[in-house]
Amino acid sequence: MAEIHELSAVELRDALRSGELSARAATDHFLDRIDAQNPHLGAFITVTADQARKDATAADRRYALRNRNGGALPPLHGMPVAFKDLTDVAGIITTHGSAALERKPALADGAVPAALKAAGVLSLGKTQVPEFGLTAYSENRIAPPSRNPYALSRSSGGSSGGSAAAVAAGLLPFAPGSDGGGSVRIPAAACGLVGLKPGRGLVPAGESSGDPAQLVVAGPLARSAADAALLLDALVPGPGNEGAGEPGAGGPGMGGRAHASYHELTAREPRRLRIGVSLDSPWQAKFPFIPDSEALDALADGVSRLEAAGHETSEAAIRYDNRYPDAFTAAWTAGIGSARISPQREALLTPLTRTFRRRAQQRSAAKVNESLGFLRQFQQDTIAQYAQWDLMVTPALAQTPRPVGWFTGATHGGGYWPAAEWAGDADGDYRKQCEYAPWSSMVNVCGLPAISIPVHWTGGAPGSGLPMGIQLIGPMGSEGLLLQVAAQLGF
């Protein structure tokens, strides 16, 4: 058998279920890799090694009892994962990436850990996030920044940056993330992974300190479409955790089988699709940007692959309302204004969080409601335009993965406080993020599924240079179709 971390998640699942590999052996292997690599990678804030080994031993006992007495194993028996440090895991401190919060262990599991533990996973710890999940990079004032496994001087993205770095470096077979403005797709693109943002309402809500626009949803980070589908099957409520009967389960590309699992769907070829190609962004009027040549190369590579697979592509000119940036920002930052932070600890917030918290507190409820009303209309207008095509394709990112500390202007450790000095330019930081990932947040506003696929490497070959990806956006219920297309393209 290959090294345990070299197995796909599907292969590891099969080895654990067949008894070829014990849960304890798999857990020990990944914990050893975390111990060796996390000091320079910064993927984990907290490693729960002792509890993980106890849980693995208990999983092996259940496997032995099942062999003697019969019965079914949970679908992800013994599979190691870790959770973003924005979500509660019972008995473990949830930092939210902030030095301003008191350190108290969570009393109960959040929705995503509860669903995945019921499916049989074992938690190895909590992964690095930006403060309150607000940014497209995973740097904060409590732990070393999460770095890109393909270039340690570069960021792994955010806000699921620690999880993406861990999967890309082989510290985990796959991981759940949460996405409120690109937080699964951005780090997936930066780390050369498949990252799926499901449509609104398909899976238990992701993590956020307030989400009035219902932007946040949990989704998988994985090295392949099949692995991502395996994790999605466990996240989606339904009979056997297979997504049966969920909204859109019989949608495009599903072959009419509403009860097929997402993993089963990845083995099927999708129908021939009409795909719109767009560089238009709702941010471009407020923050004019020019995509890097590497982003355009990734888009061209993705379009070539789609056409070679038999799909029809054509240019799509999408018109976005110029009021979008201010409305999105009001909705995105509303929760941080009401977060429970004692006044004497507010100075410990990062400059960006402190600035947007103050503005959120000064914004009237009427203004927030006005923004939410605009975003609902934006959703309707945008979906109507997208409906001319089966899928939309954009670059995943407008720039290559950015250097650690580039967004914040941090020095001396790339963002780790107290060794670092953080620049106070919150607006410059935010502008850089919007120019870096200008095609992600509108998908959350529209509640649509989208997937990031690592079609391009700056060095010319997989694993050479830095990864760059494309984003495919589908209509409601098209999660299976997006995974099918990713698998069809060889991912």
* Positions marked catalytic: 84, 159, 183
The token duo for 64 is 């032995």
Helix, strand, coil shares, percent, the chain, to 5: 40, 15, 45
Residue pair 113/120 in contact (Cβ under 8 Å)? The answer is: no
Task: Please write down the HEC assignment for all residues of 59-100.
Answer: HHHHHHHHHHHCCCCCCCCCCEEEEECCCCCECCECCCCCCC
CA separation, residue 431 to residues 286, 289, 357, 384 (Å) = 9, 10, 17, 28
Residue pair 353/131 in contact (Cβ under 8 Å)? The answer is: yes
Measure the CA dihedral 463/270/77/17, to 10°: -90
Sign (positive or negative) of CA dihedral 219, 224, 225, 231: negative
Taking alpha carbons only, the member of 269, 277, 168 closest to residue 480 is 269
457 DSSP β-pair partners:
467
472 DSSP β-pair partners:
393, 451
Residue pair 174/220 in contact (Cβ under 8 Å)? The answer is: yes
The number of residues making up the chain comes to 491
Taking alpha carbons only, the member of 309, 306, 487, 287 closest to residue 399 is 287
Q: Determine how many CB atoms are found less than 10 A away from the CB of residue 267.
A: 11
Taking alpha carbons only, the member of 124, 23, 20, 2 closest to residue 76 is 23
The token duo for 133 is 């999940």
